[in-house]
């Protein structure tokens, strides 16, 4: 793992590795201006926070081609909670990664916050991602050598904030997710449910437009799973962030604003 920036917190200076949580890894360059052409994607100016059109994804494995996504159109409103369901291997994670700009589609466009994202260079996209989207994964992917507070500060620090600036919103979010007294613990000292709440706080710290969660409760028991989903609902309503959640839990999926079922590379049900 690359070591790309130094964190100074509480008098300690340590090298932090690139965040594996989808945040940018290149923090050395100054902010990149986005040209006007980046603001002319298909969903620009029409009230959608995200608009995806004609998304396909083909994996090449030698002479075997796997068409995982075969033309996905999807629009997401500000503050909307969308769940994505479907059998294992159907392409849920692939779709989530493309919508969240972690991966590029074979064909198709994604407009996020009025920006035609795949027209950006990798470097521009990394910066845009850090500012615009958040991620929560099934396994928390917190950095083990840092405390909960430091983990939540991380996306802000990567975005160029000083430690003192990053600490305040990180603290507030940890309080909001019920972890006021666990801020200085490392991930290994937290329960699975607590670790996921830290991961949710980290996903929200840059006030992203959309948070993508890939089976965030897949590793939790029923009670913690329900609590995590309720927390996500609550935060989305409070902060107006859209959430796109891949889940196997149909009961929780039905509680979202919209449930999308993937089958054979396409959206089988759900209003687009
Ligand atoms: P889900 O999240 O619905 O379980 P995935 O999106 O992870 O499904 O995977 C969809 C299909 O794409 C699976 O058959 C998987 O094996 C395949 N796949 C995923 N990533 C890659 C990759 N990097 N290279 C080749 N095949 C992949
Ligand atoms: Mg998956």
Residue 152 counted as domain residue: yes
Residue 132 counted as domain residue: yes
Question: Whole-model pTM?
Answer: 0.83
Task: Provide the domain limits for residue 224.
Answer: 79-106+116-269
Report the nearest atom of ligand 1 relative to the CA of 90. Answer: 3
Confidence (pLDDT) at 144 = 96
CATH number of the domain encompassing residue 249: 3.40.50.300
Residue 21 counted as domain residue: no
Residue 42 counted as domain residue: no
Verify whether ligand 1 is closer than 6 Å to residue 263 (CB atom): no
Listed residue (39, 71, 73) closest to 53, CA to CA? 73
Report the nearest atom of ligand 1 relative to the CA of 57. Answer: 12
Residue 173 counted as domain residue: yes
Q: Which residues make Cβ contacts (< 8 Å) with residue 155, sequence separation at least 6?
A: 19, 21, 23, 130, 134, 202, 205, 206
What separation in Å is there between the alpha carbon of 5 and the centre of ligand 1? 32
Please tell me the residue having the least CA distance from ligand 1 atom 22.
59
Count of domains forming the chain: 1
Verify whether ligand 1 is closer than 6 Å to residue 68 (CB atom): yes
Question: What is the C-alpha separation between 110 and 210, in angstroms, rounded?
Answer: 13
Report the nearest atom of ligand 1 relative to the CA of 97. Answer: 6
Please tell me the residue having the least CA distance from ligand 1 atom 1.
89
Residue 191 counted as domain residue: yes
Confidence (pLDDT) at 160 = 94
Residue 29 counted as domain residue: no
What separation in Å is there between the alpha carbon of 91 and the centre of ligand 1? 6
Mean pLDDT by 10 residues, the chain (272 residues): 33 35 35 37 60 96 91 95 95 97 96 94 94 90 96 95 96 95 97 94 94 92 89 89 92 90 90 50
Residue 12 counted as domain residue: no
Report the nearest atom of ligand 1 relative to the CA of 94. Answer: 6
Do residues 65 and 231 make contact, with C-beta atoms less than 8 angstroms apart? no
């Amino acid at each position: 793992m690359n070591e790309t920036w130094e964190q100074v917190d509480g008098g300690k200076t340590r090298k932090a590795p690139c965040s594996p949580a989808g945040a940018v890894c290149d923090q050395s360059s100054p902010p990149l201006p986005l040209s006007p052409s980046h603001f002319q994607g298909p969903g620009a100016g029409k009230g959608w926070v995200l608009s995806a059109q004609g998304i396909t994804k083909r994996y090449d494995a030698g002479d075997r081609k796997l068409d995982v996504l075969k033309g996905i159109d999807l629009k997401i409103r500000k503050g909307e909670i969308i769940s994505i369901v479907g059998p294992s291997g159907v392409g849920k994670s692939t779709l989530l990664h493309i919508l969240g700009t972690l991966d590029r589609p074979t064909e198709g466009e994604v407009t996020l916050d009025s920006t035609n994202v795949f027209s950006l260079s990798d470097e521009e996209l990394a910066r845009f991602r850090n500012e615009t989207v958040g991620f929560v994964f099934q396994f928390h992917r917190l950095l083990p050598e840092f405390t909960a507070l430091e983990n939540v500060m991380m996306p802000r620090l990567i975005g160029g904030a000083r430690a003192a600036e990053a600490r305040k919103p990180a603290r507030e979010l940890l309080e909001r997710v019920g972890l006021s007294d666990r801020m200085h613990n490392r991930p290994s000292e937290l329960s699975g449910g607590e670790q996921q709440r830290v991961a949710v706080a980290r996903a929200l710290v840059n006030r992203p437009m959309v948070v993508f969660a890939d089976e965030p409760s897949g590793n939790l028991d029923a009670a913690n799973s329900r609590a995590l989903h309720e927390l996500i609902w609550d935060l989305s309503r409070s902060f107006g962030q859209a959430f796109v959640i891949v889940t196997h839990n149909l009961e929780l999926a039905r509680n979202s604003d919209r449930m999308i079922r993937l089958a054979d590379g396409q959206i089988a049900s759900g209003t687009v």
